[in-house]
Chain A
């Protein structure tokens, strides 16, 4: 009796994961059938492992904001600003040897500045939401604009090109034959999954998102936990910014603008409830993998980026409709 219950609850809980896996396999199969010679090449998968971590991290950040029923529309702005601030530092400190050979200490300082940017940005978001009571949508819409604006002010518009070699390693190097961004993503995703399921912060966020009023009466530190969650979101966004600037060897105020929609899509597709209380790193990871396979398939089929944006938008609406339908029958 008890064992039976456990199995059933396991299947129920991971129903979403199973569906996601099925979907991923399906996408894989369709893309293989459409263009086997191009899609199945090792190079294709390797390039995916370089590209998806940025988006994966932004999606995890989005999921964390959604856990408490919020949203973070400033993630892309934070990512770009982080990369740009580090880039500005490198250009200022660049010696005669040129940017590529910037000393490791300077690179570390750049990392601290980039992550610090994310932390400060997240703190600002968190304080606006918890202290001033602004709705997360409008607070992060406003700060996102400010961050992007600051990025433009710093660069004057064009990209900052040229990053130290050590920095670029984070975006396009290899560790034990695996793409560095992929390794970074795996480590961070595992860490976040651990934080969400095994620390007080993670479980408190789930509880707060499930019922904010009950959280208050249970004595949970609601304001502080929500603040922490936006700080975490900001830092994750800045890591995405570091990887992005390392991979492309450049930083610009309007890089990755289409990531915002994709991050929301992946979060919702990965089983996050935008109203709060539910979301897993595993779901996000599978969803981002599925989307990346789809995206690389589209690129092989020579779909334009605009067309892909169209498909993402349609996909988001489809997921909404399917989720609504599933919840109805339940």
Chain B
């Protein structure tokens, strides 16, 4: 009974229903290579969604993370090329730290000037993108220049299957990184005081202040983590697609926010879970991919994602209002 009342259960139910529906329309959906590629598409959006989940739980919003992701990615790869460095761990660390530093700017403005997070993140987003394209450069770095270590790393598969026609496909190991980060976020949210302080801040900021939470620390933590995750995901993405495009990720904020709200996070703050978010990400990615499989014109994608945002937020608003009454 308690399980039934959890919103994750509801989301999982809807997800299953949607999978059955899509699978009936197009049985190709259930083929292993499709499922593998679906999971692969979850990785980047999923990692970014963990950051957005944290921000939404605290009652804020962030539209700057795609800019941070692309800046961290492009700057890191530029740096690697300039230094002739070919590795994995250090660059990922650098991209993460860069994202974190950008996030700290968000945190500073949101905390210090008590400004609406949307407006702050609009500003930082424009600054970072403008800086990247206006000063660093606009040219793509493609496969023949990309650091090989990154590509090789992102190519690792967990399992690989050989088809009858001797082509192989596999499940990328990046899924494990996503799962690991998701687990880490779950542990942070559930088992650390800083995680609980995000819930407290989103639930009632005044009560959180009175209880003696260090809200400065909380707000900085939230926006820094969101930035760091975006930076990390950005670089990983370039390794996965063998390309570093400084104009990448435009409009991605909506997909990610849609996924998080679909996953049951409240648009008023205070509620949301990692499991729900993962389900929401899966649902969003699945619907977008299925549009292609079902031969729906790709131009409809924006409309569909927009409608998903509206439907998911309307449901979230309705649910939270009922709970408050």
| Chains A and B directly touch (beta carbon < 8 Å) | yes
Chain A residues engaging chain B, CB cutoff 8 angstroms: 71, 128, 132-135, 137-139, 141-150, 152-153, 156-157, 258, 260-261, 264-265, 268, 274-275, 303-314, 316-317, 320-321, 323-324
Q: Are B120 and A317 in contact (CB under 8 A)?
A: yes
B66 to nearest A CB, angstroms? 13
Which of chain B's residues has its CB closest to A156's CB? Answer: B299
Give complex CA distance A260, B133 in Å: 18
Please determine whether B302 and A146 come into contact, CB atoms closer than 8 angstroms: yes
B306 CB contact (under 8 Å) in A137, A143, A261: A143
- A137-B118 contact in complex given A142-B309, A145-B309, C-beta closer than 8 Å: yes
Select one of B109, B123, B258, B313 contacting A134, CB under 8 A. B313
Instruction: Give chain B residues whose Cβ lies under 8 Å from the Cβ of A142.
Output: 254, 258, 306-310, 313
- How far apart sit A134 and B317, CA to CA, in the bound complex (Å)? 6
Do A132 and B318 have beta carbons less than 8 Å apart?
yes
Q: Which residues of B contact A323 (CB under 8 A)?
A: 113
Q: Is B61 at the interface (CB under 8 A from chain A)? A: yes
Closest residue to B63 on the A side, CB-wise? A141
Known: A144-B306, A314-B123. 4 other contacts (CB 8 A): A133-B321, A312-B130, A320-B115, A323-B113
- From the candidates B127, B301, B309, name the one contacting A317 in the complex (CB within 8 A): B127
Q: Are B116 and A275 in contact, CB atoms less than 8 angstroms apart?
A: yes
Closest 7 CB pairs of A and B: A310-B130, A149-B302, A313-B126, A145-B306, A306-B134, A313-B127, A142-B309
Candidate in B132, B267, B308, B318 with the most chain A CB atoms within 10 angstroms: B267
At the interface, yes or no: B314 with Cβ under 8 Å from chain A?
yes
Which residues of chain B are within 8 angstroms of A145 by Cβ–Cβ distance?
251, 254, 302-303, 305-306, 309
Whether A128 lies near B115 (C-beta < 8 A) is no
Contact with A along B99-124 (1 / 0, CB 8 A): 00000000001001111101110111
A66 CB, min distance to chain B CBs, angstroms: 10
Taking Cβ atoms with an 8 Å cutoff, the residues of B that contact A are 61, 109, 112-116, 118-120, 122-135, 138, 251, 254, 257-258, 261, 267-268, 297, 299-310, 313-314, 317-318, 321
Please indicate the chain B residues that have their CB under 8 angstroms from the CB of A305 in the complex: 134
Please, how many angstroms separate the alpha-carbon atoms of A82 and B101 in the complex? 40
> Do A309 and B124 contact each other (CB < 8 Å), given the known contacts A135-B268, A152-B299, A264-B119?
no
CB distance from A180 to the nearest CB of B (A): 30
User: Do A261 and B126 touch (CB < 8 A)?
Assistant: yes
B313 touches A146 (CB 8 A): no
Residues A71 and B118 in contact, CB atoms below 8 Å apart: yes
Chain B residues whose C-beta falls within 8 Å of the C-beta of A153 in the assembled complex: 297, 299-300, 303
- Which of A139, A258, A304, A324 is the one whose CB lies under 8 Å from B310? A139
For A323, give the chain B residue with the smallest CB separation: B113
Minimum Cβ distance to chain B for residue A204 (Å) = 23
Hey, which chain A residues are within 8 Å of B314, CB to CB? Answer: 128, 132, 134
A141/B257 in contact, CB under 8 A: yes
Task: List chain A residues, Cβ under 8 A from B297.
Answer: 153
**Distance to closest chain B CB from A247 (angstroms):** 24
A319 to chain B, nearest CB (A): 9
Closest Cβ of chain A to B301, distance in Å, is: 7
Expressed in whole angstroms, the Cα–Cα distance for A146 and B309 within the complex equals 10
Contact status A316-B302, CB under 8 Å: no
8 Å CB contact of A320 from B120, B306, B318: B120
Interface contact A316-B299, CB-CB below 8 Å: no
The complex places the Cα of A66 from the Cα of B70 at a distance, in Å, of 30
- How many angstroms between the C-alpha atoms of A133 and B317 in the bound complex? 6
Compute how far the CA of A147 lies from the CA of B297 in the bound complex, rounded to whole angstroms: 16
Which residues of chain A are within 8 angstroms of B125 by Cβ–Cβ distance? 261, 313
Q: How far is the CA of A141 from the CA of B118 in the complex (A)?
A: 11
User: B307 to chain A: closest CB distance in Å?
Assistant: 6
Q: Are B303 and A135 in contact (CB under 8 A)?
A: no
CA distance A297 to B309 in the complex (A): 40
Give the nearest-CB partner of A319 in chain B.
Answer: B123
Contact B313 A324 (CB under 8 A): no
Q: Which residue of A lies closest to B115 (CB)?
A: A320
| Contact between B113 and A320, CB atoms less than 8 A apart | yes
Q: Bound state CA distance, A324 and B115, in angstroms?
A: 8
Min CB–CB distance A227 → chain B (angstroms): 16
B267 and A135: CB pair below 8 A?
Answer: yes
Bound CA–CA A306/B68 (angstroms): 15
Instruction: State A145–B299 Cα separation when bound (angstroms).
Output: 12
B113–A309 touching, CB < 8 Å? no
Taking a contact as CB atoms under 8 Å apart, the answer to whether B134 and A304 are in contact is yes
For B308, the chain A residues whose CB sits under 8 A away are: 142
Look across to chain B and name the residue whose beta carbon is closest to the beta carbon of A274: B116
State A31–B288 Cα separation when bound (angstroms). Answer: 48
Contacts of A135 in B (CB 8 A): 267-268, 313, 317
B127 & A138 in contact (Cβ 8 Å cutoff) = no
Contact of A141 among B126, B127, B309, B318 (CB under 8 A): B309
17 pairs from A and B in contact (CB 8 Å cutoff): A138-B257, A145-B302, A146-B302, A147-B306, A149-B302, A149-B305, A152-B302, A156-B299, A258-B126, A306-B134, A307-B130, A309-B126, A309-B127, A309-B133, A310-B126, A310-B130, A321-B109
Residues from chain B with Cβ under 8 Å of A313 in the complex = 122-128, 130
CB distance from A238 to the nearest CB of B (A): 18
Is B127 within 8 A of A310, CB to CB?
A: yes
Q: A141-B254, A157-B299, A264-B119 are in contact. Are A134 and B310 (CB under 8 A)?
A: yes
Question: Cβ of B299: which chain A residues have Cβ within 8 Å of it?
Answer: 149, 152-153, 156-157
**How far, in whole Å, are A157 and B251 apart by their CA atoms in the complex?**
16
Task: Quote the shortest CB–CB distance from B124 to chain A (angstroms).
Answer: 7
Q: How far is the CB of A141 from chain B (nearest CB, A)?
A: 6
Given A138-B313, A316-B122, also A306-B130 (CB < 8 A): yes
